[in-house]
Amino acid sequence: MATRAALFDIDGTLVDTNHLHVTAWWEAFRQAGHTVPMSAIHRAIGLGSGELIAHLLGDERDRGQDARISAAHTTLYGTCLDRLPAFEGAGDLLRSLADRGWRIVLATSAGEAEITALRAAIDADDVILGTTGADDVPAGKPAPYPVDRALALAGVPAELAVFVGDSVWDMEAATRAGVRPVALLSGGIPRAALESTGAVEVYEDPTDLLARLDTSLFAELDGR
């Protein structure tokens, strides 16, 4: 059987951090003099820092503030790094797929320090082949580069990979990279939005996907 790759977003997909990011971004924008609704920030989670700031403040913003806003978010979010909560079943899902012969690679918009904390929360380093983060690609999601990089780390062609994420940006990036996307509702994005941006299957959370692996897209590619 050909080698297959299971590519995973982390924030909102394997670790319950989206609302922590929303709060940190809201405060970072407030400190820079911007009032940005939390609902708008929530919908933007999953973008890289630069892309998120541009998406929320627009092209007419004072770009000289971008680095300060991003740094403030990193500092504020950093106060939570020692206690990030993995979703129930996240590590078990990765191990179950690895046991079935899937190569596990994580693709995130996070930086190095965040990735270290996120991997510690998941506690499945024994089956994670590699991770690609913000420092490894020229642009984050919805550009395909993070997914392309994850495919290269896995050494698997796009048609033999599945990407699991929780945001519309995940779905768009995977689709643009030629990888079929599976969505989880654990990040708080509505099913309709995920399906409209490419999700071929939608599950509640890692535990739901784990329970239904044998009837999922993963099983289809397994030939089960």
Burial class (CB in 10 A: 0-12, 13-18, 19+), 126: exposed
Q: Are residues 69 and 166 in the same domain?
A: no
Domain identity same for 184 and 206 = yes
Structural domains in the chain (count): 2
pLDDT, tens digit, 9 for 90 and up, residues 160-202: 999 999 999 999 999 999 999 999 999 999 999 999 999 999 9
- For residues 104 and 205, membership in a common domain is answered with yes
CATH number of residue 91's parent domain: 3.40.50.1000
Specify whether 145 is located in the same domain as 45: no
| 3 state DSSP class of 74 | helix
The domain of 63 spans 18-79
Phi, psi of 6 (to 5 degrees): -105, 110
Per residue in 57-68, pLDDT (tens digit) is: 999 999 999 999
Q: 35 pLDDT band (50/70/90 cuts)?
A: very high
Judgement on whether residues 45 and 56 belong to the same structural domain of the protein: yes
Among the ranges given (73-77, 132-136, 151-155), the one the predictor scored with the smallest mean pLDDT: 132-136
